[in-house]
Amino acid sequence: MYQARKECNGAKGPGFSGIVGRGPFCNALLAQAAQYRRDANLTGLQALQSQDEQRVQTLTRQVATSQQGYDSELASAISQQVSLWQRGLGRPGLLDEDRALQLLSAQSGFVRFQQWLLRLLLIALDCLPVLTKWLSRTTAYDLLYTRQLEAGSRLHEKEIGLQERRDTAHADVQLRQTEHEYLTDIENIAGADRVGRADREVDQRAEIEALAARLRADWKG
């Protein structure tokens, strides 16, 4: 449709005739645009888009209305709870109960005594398993468990010692093997050097004898 509009308006450039009005190229492009609208069902799609936009607007208004109602109800509930708390008619919370207990203990020695007695009782209940274990006699289970712990500790130490000996023996073997390879290489190098020296001495003697033979031949000649 955009190309058809430019052609009918007399646009100039590649692909356009430059003729203003409904010429053959303009009519052809308009026909193509109309065919495309029919094939793509643009009218139906635009109608669906319009319906979706109206639905979105309706849902947006409903959400705004619900939010306003929720905010007003929340503000009303908060105001009601504050009013009840100010008049002392609301349900006391944990902080209110703790404050009331502190005020009562400050005004009454009996309440203070009961408060400390409750604290000591709670501490005793927490320490009761430890106290029971500390005051009770040593049982057969305790003896067996202690022996098991000691045996496990001894076995662990022996395993550590055995592993240490294995590692040390392996390291010693590798060290001896390395020293043996080093000595073998030194001996091979020394043997090769001796062989080389012997070969050089043989060559030198052969050269000396050859030179002496030439000198004797020259002298006789």
- Residue 105 within a domain: yes
Which secondary structure element, helix H or strand E, spans residue 204, and what is its range?
A: helix 140-220
Q: Do residues 92 and 100 make contact, with C-beta atoms less than 8 angstroms apart?
A: yes
- Residue 106 within a domain: yes
Domain that holds residue 101: 94-136
Per the structure, the count of domains in the chain is 1
- Residue 163 within a domain: no
- Residue 122 within a domain: yes
**Polymer length of the chain:** 221
3-state SS, residue 14: coil
Report the predicted TM-score, pTM, of the whole model to 2 decimal places. 0.29
- Residue 56 within a domain: no
Q: How confident is the model at residue 137 (pLDDT cuts 50, 70, 90)?
A: confident
- Residue 124 within a domain: yes
Higher pLDDT: 62 or 18? It is 62
3-state SS, residue 21: coil
- Residue 215 within a domain: no
pLDDT by residue (tens digit) across 156-168? 999 999 999 999 9
- Residue 31 within a domain: no
* Mean pLDDT confidence for 190-199: 87
